[in-house]
């Protein structure tokens, strides 16, 4: 299904506004199509497509707020969701810290809609998957994974005059290739589905799987590590969720709390959020229609700022940076488009600089142990290798780590010159590989 377009989303939103009896009303309208090709055991086993249109309404009565949503976008359905949001607002307790919905301000348009990605067909996805599976079969290995393409549009209209509209298209793919005793992974996220090369992905995953066969046990301990981009993306995900949002900052649950302007990471580390950059998956406004601003969270190791929305900005005396999640969330503002500055090292140069250490492809099942300093525990997966005397000497069994991601960012000794755009649970991030001194592995696989 083609997208509704700006005019139609505005019509839907105005229908809601006309039916609302609230003092202030906000409407978030979104539509899109997501198509997914799944494969396992070297063949495609599922091809699905979902098309949906939804409308979410935030109604404000004084300092009482109600939120309701629907996917029934007939005129009657829109009137009902407006009335339901008002009814829910009447049932709430007043929130004395709420001031107002945001007022109108310019929003920069950004072209993140690639028609070729939006029109990418099941046959085209299948051709990419075929290359992965055939390469795995040729090596007597087994491939699994998923390839998704999507087009979407969103718009925010409120009774104070805010109007913002954006459309985008993106593609992401992941694969794991498995042998009897090992596995290897590869992933990509892009605005350009046609740029995804199944042969390249297969080669990467197969190489790690082949080199990882018959791993030996490595004693837990502190090792220098090289983290591939997939592992670094996990670090960015938890910095976004635990540290770089205004709610955690104000509640003193973030290492940024009380430390703005101070050194919190190594001077070679810079991390920022930029919702306008075409090097990511841009989104020029947030869930309440406020223009996204670039936020330098850490610049040359110095804490800069966190992401703000209107509500927490009102509490903290800070203007919104355009990082609100859609109304009804409990997480506050979060950065969703993170970038980490690249360095000048190749992966081979990183390997050559290590006397004894570990190469990590990615992390798996990571969970917070101590949110304030972002201490995490998790497992390595899909390619863990021992480095000795400047070369990879063999595979090791997966290791458990318990490590402060914050501390690790003060021990970065080399940063990759290339970066990769990846999708995680919370945010998208473009990150390089890292060499880090003194990573704590606390358990080994028997």
Domain co-membership, 222 together with 260: yes
SS3 category, 217: coil
Domain co-membership, 174 together with 237: no
Residue 112 domain-assigned?
yes
Domain co-membership, 182 together with 298: no
284 pLDDT more than 70? yes
Among 302, 281, 268, smallest CA distance to 416 is for: 268
Structure tokens at 273: 């959020």
DSSP letter string over 63-110?
TEEEEEEES--SHHHHHHHHHHHHHHHHHSPP-TT-------------
d(CA 226, CA 230): 11
d(CA 440, CA 222): 5
Domain co-membership, 195 together with 269: no
Domain co-membership, 144 together with 241: no
Query: Phi and psi for 15 in degrees, rounded to 5?
Result: -60, -40
pLDDT confidence tier of residue 2, bands split at 50, 70 and 90: confident
SS3 category, 233: helix
SS3 category, 240: helix
Domain co-membership, 362 together with 260: yes
Domain co-membership, 332 together with 255: yes
Question: pLDDT digit string (tens) for 333-371?
Answer: 999 999 999 999 999 999 999 999 999 999 999 999 999
Structural domain harbouring 327 = 215-446
Structure tokens at 240: 């976004």
As a dihedral over the C-alpha atoms of residue 84, residue 87, residue 91, residue 96, rounded to 10 degrees, the angle is 90
d(CA 400, CA 137): 31
Domain co-membership, 115 together with 154: yes
On whether the CB atoms of residues 347 and 433 are closer than 8 A, the answer is: yes
Please, which residues have CB within 8 angstroms of residue 49's CB and are 6 or more apart in sequence?
33, 34, 35, 36
DSSP letter string over 396-430?
B--EEEEEEHHHHTTSEEEEBSS-EEEE-SS-EEE
As a whole number, the mean pLDDT across the chain is 98
Residue 205 domain-assigned?
no
Residue 319 domain-assigned?
yes
What is the pLDDT at residue 445?
87
What is the pLDDT at residue 446?
77
Question: What length is written for the chain?
Answer: 446
Q: Which CATH number belongs to the domain containing residue 158 in this structure?
A: 3.30.2290.10
Using the Cα atoms of residue 201, residue 204, residue 206 and residue 209 in order, give the sign of their dihedral: negative
Q: Do the strands 337-340 and 428-431 form a parallel or antiparallel pair, or are they unpaired? A: parallel
Domain co-membership, 234 together with 374: yes
Question: pLDDT digit string (tens) for 176-191?
Answer: 999 999 999 999 999 9
Question: pLDDT digit string (tens) for 203-232?
Answer: 999 999 999 999 999 999 999 999 999 999
SS3 category, 441: strand
Is the pTM higher than 0.85? The answer reads yes
Using the Cα atoms of residue 196, residue 199, residue 200 and residue 204 in order, give the sign of their dihedral: positive
Rg (CA), the chain: 23
Indicate the number of domains in the chain.
Answer: 2
Residue 320 domain-assigned?
yes
Domain co-membership, 15 together with 110: yes
Which residues share a beta bridge with 1? none
Pairwise pLDDT comparison (2 vs 231), residue with the higher score = 231
As a dihedral over the C-alpha atoms of residue 88, residue 93, residue 94, residue 97, rounded to 10 degrees, the angle is -110
pLDDT confidence tier of residue 123, bands split at 50, 70 and 90: very high
403 pLDDT more than 70? yes
How many degrees, rounded to 5, is the angle at CA 281 between CA 280 and CA 282? 100
Structure tokens at 100: 């107002």
Question: pLDDT digit string (tens) for 71-84?
Answer: 999 999 999 999 99
| Among 199, 232, 260, residue at a domain's last position | 199
On whether the CB atoms of residues 177 and 198 are closer than 8 A, the answer is: no
- What average pLDDT does this structure show over 308-337? 98
Which residues share a beta bridge with 271? 298, 340
Residue 207 domain-assigned?
no
- What average pLDDT does this structure show over 55-69? 99
314: buried, middle or exposed (CB in 10 Å: 19+, 13-18, 0-12)? middle
As a dihedral over the C-alpha atoms of residue 152, residue 158, residue 163, residue 166, rounded to 10 degrees, the angle is -10
| Among 171, 199, 227, residue at a domain's last position | 199
Residue 204 domain-assigned?
no
Domain co-membership, 96 together with 150: yes
Domain co-membership, 228 together with 167: no
On whether the CB atoms of residues 377 and 400 are closer than 8 A, the answer is: yes
| Among 151, 169, 199, residue at a domain's last position | 199
- What average pLDDT does this structure show over 126-139? 99
- What average pLDDT does this structure show over 50-58? 98
């Amino acid at each position: 299904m083609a997208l509704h377009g700006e005019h139609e989303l505005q019509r839907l939103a105005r229908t809601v506004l006309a039916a609302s009896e609230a003092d202030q009303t906000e409407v978030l309208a979104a539509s899109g199509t997501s198509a997914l090709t799944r494969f396992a055991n070297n063949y495609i086993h599922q091809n699905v497509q979902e098309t949906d249109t939804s409308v979410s309404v935030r109604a404000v009565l004084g300092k009482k707020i109600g939120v309701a949503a629907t996917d029934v976008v007939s005129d009657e359905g829109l009137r009902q969701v407006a009335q339901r949001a008002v009814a829910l607002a009447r049932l709430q307790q007043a929130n004395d810290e709420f001031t107002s919905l945001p007022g109108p301000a310019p929003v920069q348009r950004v072209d993140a809609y690639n028609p070729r990605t939006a029109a990418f067909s099941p046959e085209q996805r299948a051709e990419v998957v075929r290359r992965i599976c055939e390469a795995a079969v040729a090596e007597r290995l087994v491939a699994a994974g998923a390839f998704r393409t999507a087009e979407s549009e969103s718009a925010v209209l409120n009774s104070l005059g805010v109007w913002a509209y954006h459309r985008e298209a993106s593609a992401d793919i992941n694969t794991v290739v498995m042998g009897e005793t090992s596995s290897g992974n590869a992933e990509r996220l892009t605005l350009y589905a046609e740029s995804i090369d199944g042969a390249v992905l297969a080669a990467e995953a197969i190489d790690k799987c082949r080199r990882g066969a018959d791993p030996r046990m490595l004693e837990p301990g502190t090792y220098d590590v090289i983290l591939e981009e997939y592992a670094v993306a996990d670090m960015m995900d938890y910095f976004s969720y635990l540290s770089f949002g205004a709610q955690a900052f104000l509640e003193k649950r973030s290492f940024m709390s009380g430390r703005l302007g101070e050194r919190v990471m190594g001077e070679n580390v810079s991390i920022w959020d930029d919702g306008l950059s075409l090097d990511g998956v841009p989104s020029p406004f947030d869930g309440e229609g406020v223009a996204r601003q670039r936020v330098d969270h850490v610049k040359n190791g110095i804490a800069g700022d966190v992401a703000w929305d209107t509500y927490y900005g009102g509490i903290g005396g800070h203007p919104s940076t355009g990082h609100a999640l859609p109304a009804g969330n409990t997480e506050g503002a979060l950065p969703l488009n993170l970038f980490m500055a690249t360095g000048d090292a190749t992966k081979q140069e990183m390997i050559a600089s290590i006397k004894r250490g570990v190469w990590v492809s990615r992390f798996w099942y990571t969970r917070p142990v101590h949110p304030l300093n972002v201490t995490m525990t998790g497992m390595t997966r899909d390619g863990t290798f021992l480095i000795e005397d400047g070369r990879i000497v063999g595979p090791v069994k997966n290791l458990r780590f318990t490590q402060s991601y914050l501390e690790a960012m003060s021990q970065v000794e080399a940063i990759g010159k290339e970066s990769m755009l990846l999708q995680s649970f919370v945010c998208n991030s473009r990150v390089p590989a890292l060499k880090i001194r003194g990573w704590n592995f606390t358990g080994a696989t028997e």
